Amino acid sequence: MDKFLRRKDSSSRTDDEEPSTSVTKNLKKVVKRKYDEDYIKYGFSWCGDETAPRPQCIICGDQLSNESMVPSKLKRHLYSGHPSCANKDKQYFKRGA
């Protein structure tokens, strides 16, 4: 059983090697999503800065984060928050709810 529990001695590691738990490897790159005109069919327009627009619901006025500008998340907001408007077409949202 001891052979499974033995670990490498830290003194045997050379100075050139980095520890295996390096924090710099796990950093995420921030992705700024752009608004697409097709998002109007989910009831969303955009507001804020053009470099990092935020989706805004036309019906309730909620502003979501830039990371939420994914069709699946916009659709989820529409179907869960406004089920009566879920089957409306683009023209309904363009005219205004």
Local confidence pLDDT in tens for the 97 residues of the chain: 666 676 666 555 555 555 555 556 667 777 788 888 999 999 999 998 888 899 999 999 999 998 888 999 999 999 999 999 989 888 988 876 5
How far is C-alpha 73 from the geometric centre of its chain's CA atoms? 9
Contact 76, 64 (CB under 8 A): no
pLDDT number for residue 7: 67
pLDDT number for residue 9: 63
pLDDT number for residue 29: 75
Residue 55 CB neighbours (<10 A): 25
What is the Cα–Cα distance from 97 to 84, expressed in whole angstroms?
11
pLDDT number for residue 32: 81
Q: What stretch of H or E contains 53?
A: strand 53-57
